[in-house]
Structure 1
Amino acid sequence: MKNGRSLVSLAQELERQLHSKKDLVVSSSLLRHDTDDRGDTRLVIEENSGAVRYGVTPLARRQLADKLKIPYAYFERMREEQPVLLDRNVNTWLQSDDDRRMIRTLDGQVRAVLSDRYRRLDNFDLAESVLPILQQLPEVRFESVELTDTKMYLKVVTPRLTYEMAPGDIVQAGLVISNSEVGQGMLSVQPLVFRLLCRNGLIAADRSLRKTHVGRTLATEDEGIAVYQEDTLRADDKAFFLRVRDVVQAAVSETTFRQTAIKMQRTLNIPLIGDPVKTVEVLAQRYTLNDSERSGVLRHLITEGDLSGYGLVNAVTHFSQEVEDYDRATEFEALGGKLIELPATEWKGLAEAA
Structure 2
Amino acid sequence: MFLTTTVRNAGFEHMLSMLRTQNAAKIDVVAPATALRARGGAVELSGIEPVVDDHGVTLVDGLYVPTAAADATIAAKLGIGSKYLRFMRTERPDLFDANVNGLLHGKSKRGADGTVTTIHPADSRSFLLRLFRGQDGEAGVLRALLSDRFGMVDNLDLLTAVLDGIRQADAQVEIRSCDLTDSSMHCKVYSPTVERLAPQLLAGYRNPFANPELEAERQRVTTDLDTGRRLAAAEGQGYQPGSEPVVFAGFRFSNSEVGSGSVTLKPELFVRICRNGLTLPALAFRKVHLGQRMEGGTISWSQDTVKKQLDVIAAQARDHVREWLSPAFLARQVATLEEQAGAPVTEPQATVQVLGRELGFTEAEREGVLRHFIAAAQPTAAGIAHAITSYSQTVADPARADTLDDLALRAMALVR
Query: What is the TM-score of this pair, normalised by structure 1?
Result: 0.85
Counterpart-to-counterpart distance in 2, 1:231 and 1:146: 28
What are the within-5 Å matches in structure 2 for residues 83-232 of structure 1? 83-95=93-105, 96-107=122-133, 108-134=140-166, 137-166=170-199, 168-219=244-295, 225-229=296-300, 231=302
2:267 is the counterpart of 1:262: no
Structure 1: gaps (5+ residues): 220-224
Counterpart-to-counterpart distance in 2, 1:139 and 1:104: 35
1:253 pairs, out of 302, 326, 348, with 326
- The AA in structure 1 aligned to 2:37 is R
- Alpha-carbon shift at residue 191 of structure 1 (Å): 0.7
Alpha-carbon RMSD = 2.4
Contact 1:205 1:338 in 2 (8 A): no
Correspondence for 1:47: 48
1:165-207 Cα distance to aligned partner (Å, 9 max, x none): 2173111101111111111211111111011332211111233
- The AA in structure 1 aligned to 2:338 is Q
Counterpart-to-counterpart distance in 1, 2:31 and 2:8: 39
- Alpha-carbon shift at residue 134 of structure 1 (Å): 3.2
Range that drifts further, 152-161 or 236-245: 236-245
What are the within-5 Å matches in structure 2 for residues 222-301 of structure 1? 225-229=296-300, 231=302, 234-235=306-307, 237-247=309-319, 248-273=321-346, 275-301=347-373
Structure with max Cα Rg:
2
Contact 1:267 1:308 in 2 (8 A): no
Counterpart-to-counterpart distance in 2, 1:196 and 1:189: 20
Q: Per the alignment, do residues 42 and 302 of structure 1 end up closer, same or farther by CA in structure 2, a change over 3 Å counting?
A: same
Correspondence for 1:23: 28
- Alpha-carbon shift at residue 31 of structure 1 (Å): 0.9
Contact 1:43 1:110 in 2 (8 A): no
Correspondence for 1:222: none
Counterpart-to-counterpart distance in 2, 1:321 and 1:88: 41
- Alpha-carbon shift at residue 68 of structure 1 (Å): 0.8
Identical amino acids, percent of aligned pairs: 29
Counterpart-to-counterpart distance in 2, 1:77 and 1:4: 30
Contact 2:8 2:396 in 1 (8 A): no
Count residues with an aligned counterpart: 333
1:53-97 Cα distance to aligned partner (Å, 9 max, x none): 211111111211221112223324433554333312211211211
Contact 1:43 1:56 in 2 (8 A): no
Correspondence for 1:6: 11
Query: What is the TM-score of this pair, normalised by structure 2?
Result: 0.74
Contact 1:204 1:260 in 2 (8 A): no
1:112-164 Cα distance to aligned partner (Å, 9 max, x none): 11111110111111122222443675542221123222222221111322222
- The AA in structure 2 aligned to 1:271 is P
Counterpart-to-counterpart distance in 2, 1:195 and 1:214: 35
- The AA in structure 2 aligned to 1:294 is R
1:63 pairs, out of 63, 73, 85, with 73
Contact 2:172 2:193 in 1 (8 A): yes
What are the within-5 Å matches in structure 2 for residues 268-347 of structure 1? 268-273=341-346, 275-340=347-412, 342=413, 347=414
Range that drifts further, 156-165 or 172-181: 156-165
- Alpha-carbon shift at residue 337 of structure 1 (Å): 3.8
- The AA in structure 2 aligned to 1:180 is S
Counterpart-to-counterpart distance in 2, 1:330 and 1:282: 21
Counterpart-to-counterpart distance in 1, 2:389 and 2:90: 38
- The AA in structure 2 aligned to 1:189 is L
Structure 2: gaps (5+ residues): 1-6, 51-59, 106-121, 134-139, 204-243
Moved over 3 A (4+): 76-82, 132-139, 230-233, 337-340
